[in-house]
Structure 1
Amino acid sequence: MNILSVIAPLILVALLGFVLCKSNKLNKSQLDALSKFTFFYSIPAFLFYQMANADFSGMMDPKFFAGFYLPLLCCYLLAGLGNYFFHKKYRKNYPASAVFALGASYSNTVIVGLPVLLMVIGEQVVALVFLIITFHSTLLFGLTSAIAARGQAPEQTGSENTSADTSPGSAPKRNNFDWQGFFKQTFNNPLIISILSGLVFNLLAIPLPGVILDALVLLGKPAITLALFILGASLAYYRVRNEINFIMLASIFKLLVLPGLVYVAALYLFRLEPMIITVLVILSASPIGVNAYLIAKMQEVHQETLAGAVVVSTVMSVFTIPAWLWLLG
């Protein structure tokens, strides 16, 4: 199997975006408009259609979810703590720690994971893949929004972060969870809305007119290409070298630590079948998903880190995914 044939087109699309912006063929305002269309319309249409039409019958084993999501949450926690305690600029910053944790644990399941599994196992994995990733974005985006909302509560008072840390009167506000901010960030997120809506339509078997389905297909078709293009273009505006240590840390967490935890949990803790283990490990070993970078842009923290980490982890996955496949036999 040639993993390069799966990864190379993704890199080339991102490279095209970078070259066009670096050569001023595409300016910042044009890129922002393209980003808005992609994030608010094209990607949600793609996710809604996929969720609404996935076949989940006969695959509702709790062990499948536990084997994937328990290690996922452990990796998220470890990465978030790493940023919270050790990042020079974003130390003790809740939104930045949540965004970094998202980047270190959010998999590019649809663009990389699914094609690789189709090449290795075949079409029988499609339903299982969508079953496992049903709550992937919802869980991680919701958790990130919750942590970010908690960290933004002190800022609403108009005081600086440093004064919030030292002022005795600001402590109660830091300890109170900002439910309004959480629900606003979570349920105003078009990615989460599209995933949950598609799941509802699927579970309730709500039919959609053919013309609506066709429109969703057309709107969602360019989603992956546009997301990769925007990622590469955005790199032209960031000094990625300033965050190289945390770019590498996020990539290592994503490509080695997370799939390692999934492998141990699936094989030794839940004793799943070999095919299921392969699906879970390859999904978790996929490079960092582009949507994690879009969340970083929304939160306005770690944009450089996640933009670089998506690219670096994608390149590194050319070597790490075959290594995991060799280990899995």
Structure 2
Amino acid sequence: MSGLLTILLPTFGLIGLGYAAAQARLLTERASDGLTEYIFVIAIPALIFSTIASSHPSGENPWGYWISYFSGVAVAWISAIITARRVFGRNKQTAAIHGFAAAQSNTVLVGVPVILNAYGNQGATPLFLLLAIHLPIMMTVASILIETSVTGTGRIDLVKRLAKTIFTHPIVLALIAGYLAKVTAFAPSGQIKDVLDTLAATASPCALISMGLALKRYGLKGDVGPVLSISFQKLLVHPFIVWVLAFHVLHVQPVWAGVAVLFAAMPSGVNAYLIAARYKSGERATSAAIALSTALSIFTVSLWLWVLGVV
């Protein structure tokens, strides 16, 4: 428990810093909007590009591992969308954001230290293999779903919006650029690498401070139902589906299966709020769900560690 607190407290510290800055009126709503824009347009794309361009193939292609994890993603995402639409009456765009929040894991701030502490070097290969594709896939799918969820869109308009998303969206462009760099063996080096690394390093802390600003702006009250639903899907449904498939259906190698379950058991990632803020839809629910799921994860991650026989 103390180990988890040590990992989670810095996350809450940055969120609290953003909240305190807003409470003291040191940062305004305009600053919050500008910070979110910077993260989405510059910091996150730099992180994606540098991660993909500098990655090395592991030689592993564990289909059971992929199927187990992303099946859990699909179930949590779809379930959250259906709940948002039918139970809480949200529109398609907001429901897509709720689904993303229920399926997107906080991998860097919480997932990496928890998993490496649990499995050590044995867990490093499956962890970083999944980490390398998790953010690009999740952000791309979320952006495309949200962009194409506008009501009254015909087929031609839908194709146009999708094409615009692919060729102008900073996340998608970073993904494409990263893979082109990888294919052409262009690994950033020297001053270019230093600039990219500096920008990428700002993504997580700036995002957490931005979320703290959002909590002051939107508060934790209201949207209690959606917040509880997102947290439930993320902390229990997602890892449960992965656990069933990895251990009892596809019989994935135990360490790899455990890594997949813990990866899925992480709280909602801050990227859900960045997406919500970008499209100005569902900010209150996503910011509160990230904070609540992070707090509850102290207990739920402990539960999954016990289920996996790690503690």
Same fold per superposition (TM over 0.5):
yes
Which residue of 141, 159, 162 corresponds with 1:179? 159
**Matching residue of 2:243:** 263
How far 1:204 sits from its partner (Å)?
4.1
Q: Residue deviations 1:262-306, cap 9 Å, x none?
A: 000101111011100111011101111111111111222111000
**Structure 1 unaligned residues grouped into runs of 5+:** 155-172
Which residue of 244, 255, 278 corresponds with 1:298? 278
Quick check: 1:247–1:309 contact (8 Å CA) kept in 2?
A: yes
Quick check: 1:118–1:125 contact (8 Å CA) kept in 2?
A: yes
Which residue of 214, 234, 253 corresponds with 1:273? 253
**Matching residue of 2:177:** 197
Equivalent residue letter for 2:287 = A
Of structures 1 and 2, the larger Rg is shown by 1
**Matching residue of 1:55:** 56
In 2 relative to 1, CA 74–124 (structure 1 residues): closer, same or farther, beyond 3 Å? same
Q: Please give the alpha-carbon distance, in whole angstroms, between the structure 2 residues aligned to 1:205 and 1:277.
A: 32
Q: Please give the alpha-carbon distance, in whole angstroms, between the structure 2 residues aligned to 1:186 and 1:101.
A: 21
Q: Please give the alpha-carbon distance, in whole angstroms, between the structure 2 residues aligned to 1:52 and 1:124.
A: 24
Q: Please give the alpha-carbon distance, in whole angstroms, between the structure 2 residues aligned to 1:43 and 1:138.
A: 10
Q: Does 1:147 align with 2:127?
A: no
Q: Residue deviations 1:21-71, cap 9 Å, x none?
A: 012111112222222222211222222222222333222222221111112
Equivalent residue letter for 1:9 = P
Quick check: 1:56–1:128 contact (8 Å CA) kept in 2?
A: no
Q: Please give the alpha-carbon distance, in whole angstroms, between the structure 1 residues aligned to 2:185 and 2:125.
A: 16
Q: Please give the alpha-carbon distance, in whole angstroms, between the structure 2 residues aligned to 1:148 and 1:37.
A: 20
RMSD over aligned CA atoms reads 2.0
Quick check: 1:80–1:101 contact (8 Å CA) kept in 2?
A: yes
**Matching residue of 1:111:** 109
Provide the secondary structure at the position in 2 that maps to 1:242.
coil
Equivalent residue letter for 1:259 = P
**Matching residue of 1:17:** 18
Q: Count matched residues.
A: 308
Which residue of 121, 130, 152 corresponds with 1:132? 130
Q: Please give the alpha-carbon distance, in whole angstroms, between the structure 2 residues aligned to 1:48 and 1:205.
A: 13
Q: Residue deviations 1:55-96, cap 9 Å, x none?
A: 3322222222111111211221111111111114x2xx2111
Which residue of 290, 295, 298 corresponds with 1:318? 298
**Matching residue of 2:30:** 29
Equivalent residue letter for 1:213 = K
Quick check: 1:150–1:174 contact (8 Å CA) kept in 2?
A: no
Q: Please give the alpha-carbon distance, in whole angstroms, between the structure 2 residues aligned to 1:287 and 1:95.
A: 22
How far 1:225 sits from its partner (Å)?
0.8
**Matching residue of 1:85:** 86
Provide the secondary structure at the position in 1 that maps to 2:223.
helix
How far 1:213 sits from its partner (Å)?
1.0
Q: Please give the alpha-carbon distance, in whole angstroms, between the structure 2 residues aligned to 1:124 and 1:142.
A: 29
